[in-house]
């Protein structure tokens, strides 16, 4: 597959957009795109190791080139001047030699090059013919240049690059002005160019994406072989249960009689007035037994486990909400329950730890790593690998290997289905905007799923920006993450350039996870759902607002959705409708509120 080089990068934003390219070019020659070695080093540090860092020079001194190679560091050097073969030989990394090709003499020069790669720079080419200068590709057609050494540049953009690749099958295409708007690089154009050339990055893997389990190219079953049997059994059991009327009746009976559904869609009169924009409605998952949406999923999976003959349950928990929901349902259905929870979260969420113990669950403290949700999932997975024959892993969000993301979404979709009926009933039409917070993404996907086909409904997922998305302390996976595999799924992750997963940070323990459910990554990828990030501080301010205006103390997680709703509402009119998913109530966060909001007048 043809590789992509984005050349003339100067700003961080564009370097990030180029992180899925194969090479990034930094120009050291006099040019409006010129940068210093120090600037290039800072930009290069933001790129994954897999991206080649190429320095572009025109008749520079060897010292300057060597200094840049060492300090940036550069993995390749590209020369546009009259550099000699000796000069090329003195460069310790791979060399690209560039040639402007106008006639057969230029082709001869290019054929004689001793460089690792030759770059054909054909300025002003117009692949579509017609206006502008057309380059005579037949000149190259006769040249004895190995396509594996050939890089094509000059006048390329997302529209004509396909034709360049078809006619020359080069090793790499190089673009600069073709991804600019008014002389500046354009992050969107960079991404589109890369996508155009590479197609779906997982398209290279067609054939792996067998049947189900993928949302676009995200998801899958990336688990050790020991778990494959359990994952496949679960897939089969769920497929069958899903269409079984008795199973569904049982599940809905528990939702009604035990959880207390359906939950109201409350019109928030004072919030509507305060924001001065759309009519605001709140979906009241805070009223569920145990205080959050998590129980919708826990009941569904526990019933499925029993159906599969498994009476032991292992779960992970961050905030403790999912742990409490699981412990609750295990008490009700007489199942054995082990919950892994990070030591740090145990400290933050004392009350929920006690609730789980009171309900008869065994709470295992996880001291490894960051001692938060990610590490709790690791331990739960290890426990599952070891006890897989009689234990069900009751995962708490729309994460993990297939079928978990689909199954959790289905069990949470009761939120969106009810909301849809309720708003049609109250307003006679669909809402304009729906917001929900995103940790792993279960309340959000449950809310969004029944509306995904309704193009008029704007869907906004809200992640935790912690202390800010430009600090190292946030949990904004969709905003800042990159693609990778963790806990069984191909998704987006907070990770370093070596593929080591990083710690996430949020004041809200339930959003503190460095990955995000694969379906959300897909919905972002196809542009159906927007994802925004809200800081700790903004979320806390919204806790106060919702408490005082509506008499509803929200969970910290849910407060993120409220904070973003306020921003969204500011640009909406009074004839519009906005719905917020209040995923849980604030009881579990009272200690944090007491500490952070102390002195509140």
Active site residues: 294, 316, 583
The minimum distance between CB 378 and another protein, in angstroms, equals 5
Q: Which of residues 561-590 bind another protein (CB under 8 A)?
A: none
Residue 507 found at the interface with ligand PLP (CB under 6 A): no
Instruction: Give the pair of three-digit tokens for residue 446.
Output: 């449950």
Task: Work out which of 284, 322, 409, 458 binds ligand PLP, going by CB under 6 A.
Answer: 322
Q: Which of another protein, ligand PLP, none is residue 374 near (CB under 5 to 8 Å by kind)?
A: another protein
Distance CA 67, CA 569 (A): 53
The minimum distance between CB 586 and ligand PLP, in angstroms, equals 9
Pattern of binders to another protein over 42-71, x per CB under 8 A?
A: ------xxx---------------------
Question: How many chain residues bind ligand PLP (CB under 6 A)?
Answer: 21
Residue 374 found at the interface with ligand PLP (CB under 6 A): no
Given the rule CB under 8 A, which of 110-118, 155-163, 300-308, 479-487 is the region that contacts another protein?
A: 479-487
Residue 6 found at the interface with ligand PLP (CB under 6 A): no
Residue 586 found at the interface with ligand PLP (CB under 6 A): no
Residue 440 found at the interface with ligand PLP (CB under 6 A): yes
Task: Work out which of 356, 584, 592, 593 binds ligand PLP, going by CB under 6 A.
Answer: 584
Residue 434 found at the interface with ligand PLP (CB under 6 A): no
Instruction: Give the pair of three-digit tokens for residue 260.
Output: 């207390």
Q: DSSP string spanning 482-546?
A: EEEEETEEEEEE-B-TTSPBPPP--SSGGG--SEE-HHHHHHHHTTSEEEEEEEHHHHHHHHHHH
Contact at 8 Å (CB) between 529 and 461? Answer: yes
Residue 319 found at the interface with ligand PLP (CB under 6 A): yes
Question: Which residues fall within 8 angstroms of residue 331, CB to CB, at 6 or more apart?
Answer: 337, 359, 360, 361
Torsion of CA 584, 587, 588, 589, to 10 degrees: 90
Given the rule CB under 6 A, which of 239-247, 323-331, 438-446, 499-507 is the region that contacts ligand PLP?
A: 438-446
Residue placing its CB nearer to another protein in the complex, 385 or 544: 385
Instruction: Give the pair of three-digit tokens for residue 238.
Output: 């769920």
Contact at 8 Å (CB) between 430 and 457? Answer: yes
Assign residue 394 a region: left if phi > 0, alpha if psi is -120 to 50, beta otherwise?
beta
Q: Which of another protein, ligand PLP, none is residue 220 near (CB under 5 to 8 Å by kind)?
A: another protein
Task: Work out which of 229, 252, 256, 362 binds another protein, going by CB under 8 A.
Answer: 229
Going 196 to 201 to 202 to 205, the CA torsion angle's sign is positive
Instruction: Give the pair of three-digit tokens for residue 399.
Output: 């994460």
Reported as type and span, the H/E element at residue 447 is: helix 442-448
Q: Which of residues 531-570 bind ligand PLP (CB under 6 A)?
A: 555, 557-558
Distance CA 344, CA 509 (A): 10
Question: How many chain residues bind another protein (CB under 8 A)?
Answer: 46
Given the rule CB under 8 A, which of 245-253, 292-300, 378-386, 429-437 is the region that contacts another protein?
A: 378-386
Instruction: Give the pair of three-digit tokens for residue 87.
Output: 């000069």
Three-class SS string for 209-254?
A: CCCCCEECCEEEEECCHHHHHHHHHHHHHHHHHHCCHHHHHHHHHH
| Nearest Cα residue to 487 out of 590, 391, 414, 379 | 379
Given the rule CB under 8 A, which of 145-153, 437-445, 487-495, 543-551 is the region that contacts another protein?
A: 487-495
Tokens 């400290």 belong to residue: 347
Q: Which of ligand PLP, another protein, none is residue 555 near (CB under 5 to 8 Å by kind)?
A: ligand PLP
Residue 441 found at the interface with ligand PLP (CB under 6 A): yes
Binding site for ligand PLP (CB under 6 A): 292, 318-319, 321-322, 397, 437-444, 510-511, 555, 557-558, 583-584
Binding site for another protein (CB under 8 A): 48-50, 202, 205-208, 210, 220-230, 232, 368-369, 374, 378, 381-382, 385-386, 388-389, 482-488, 493, 495, 497-502
């Amino acid at each position: 597959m043809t590789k992509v080089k984005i050349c003339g990068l100067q700003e961080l934003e564009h370097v990030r957009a180029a992180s899925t390219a194969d090479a990034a070019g930094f120009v050291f020659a006099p040019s409006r795109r010129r940068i210093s070695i120090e600037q290039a080093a800072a930009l290069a540090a933001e790129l994954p190791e897999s991206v080649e860092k190429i320095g572009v020079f025109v008749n520079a001194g060897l010292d300057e080139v060597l200094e840049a190679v060492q300090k940036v560091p550069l993995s390749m050097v590209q020369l546009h001047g009259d550099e000699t073969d000796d000069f090329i030989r003195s460069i310790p990394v791979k060399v690209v030699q560039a040639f402007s090709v106008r006639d057969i003499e230029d082709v001869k020069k290019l054929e004689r090059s001793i460089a690792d790669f030759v770059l054909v720079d054909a300025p002003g080419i117009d692949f579509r013919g017609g206006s502008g200068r057309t380059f005579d590709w037949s000149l190259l057609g006769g040249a004895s240049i190995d396509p594996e050494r050939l890089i094509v540049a000059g006048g390329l953009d997302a529209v004509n690059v396909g034709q360049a690749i078809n006619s020359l099958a080069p090793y790499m295409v190089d673009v600069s002005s073709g991804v600019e708007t008014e002389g500046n690089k354009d992050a969107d154009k960079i991404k589109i160019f890369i996508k155009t050339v590479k197609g779906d990055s997982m398209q290279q893997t067609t054939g792996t994406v067998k049947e189900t389990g993928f949302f676009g190219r995200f998801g899958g079953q990336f688990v050790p072989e020991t778990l494959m049997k359990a994952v496949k059994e679960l897939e089969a059991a769920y497929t069958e249960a899903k269409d079984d009327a008795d199973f569904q009746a049982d599940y809905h009976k528990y939702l009604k009689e035990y959880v207390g559904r359906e939950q109201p869609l409350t019109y928030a009169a004072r919030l509507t007035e305060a924001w001065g924009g759309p009519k605001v409605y709140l979906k009241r998952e805070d009223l569920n037994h145990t205080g959050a949406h998590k129980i919708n999923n826990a009941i569904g999976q526990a019933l499925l486990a029993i159906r599969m003959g498994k009476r032991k349950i292992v779960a992970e928990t961050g905030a403790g909400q999912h742990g409490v929901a699981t412990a609750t349902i295990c008490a009700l259905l007489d199942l054995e329950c082990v919950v892994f929870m990070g030591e740090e979260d145990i400290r933050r969420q004392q009350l929920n730890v006690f609730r789980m113990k009171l309900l008869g669950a065994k709470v295992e403290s996880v001291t490894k790593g960051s001692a938060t949700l990610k590490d709790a999932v690791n331990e739960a997975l290890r426990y599952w690998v070891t006890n897989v024959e009689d234990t069900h892993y009751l995962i708490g969000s729309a994460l993990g290997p297939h079928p978990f993301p689909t199954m959790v979404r289905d069990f949470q979709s009761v939120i969106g289905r009810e909301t849809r009926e309720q708003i049609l009933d109250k307003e006679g039409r669909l809402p304009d905007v729906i917001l929900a917070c995103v940790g792993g993404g279960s309340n959000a996907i449950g809310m969004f799923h029944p509306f995904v086909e309704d193009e008029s409904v704007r869907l906004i997922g809200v992640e935790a920006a912690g202390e800010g998305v430009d600090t190292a302390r946030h949990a904004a996976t969709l905003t800042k993450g990159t693609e990778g595999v963790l806990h069984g799924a191909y998704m987006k992750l907070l990770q370093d350039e070596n593929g080591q997963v990083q710690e996430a940070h949020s004041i809200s323990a339930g959003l503190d996870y460095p990955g995000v459910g694969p379906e959300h990554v897909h919905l972002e990828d196809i542009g159906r759902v927007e994802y925004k990030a809200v800081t700790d501080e903004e979320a806390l301010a919204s806790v106060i607002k919702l408490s005082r205006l509506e008499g509803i103390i929200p969970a910290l997680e849910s407060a993120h959705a409220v904070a973003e709703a306020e921003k969204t509402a500011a640009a909406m009119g009074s004839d519009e409708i906005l719905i917020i998913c209040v995923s849980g109530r604030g009881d579990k966060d009272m200690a944090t509120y007491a500490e952070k909001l102390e002195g509140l007048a």
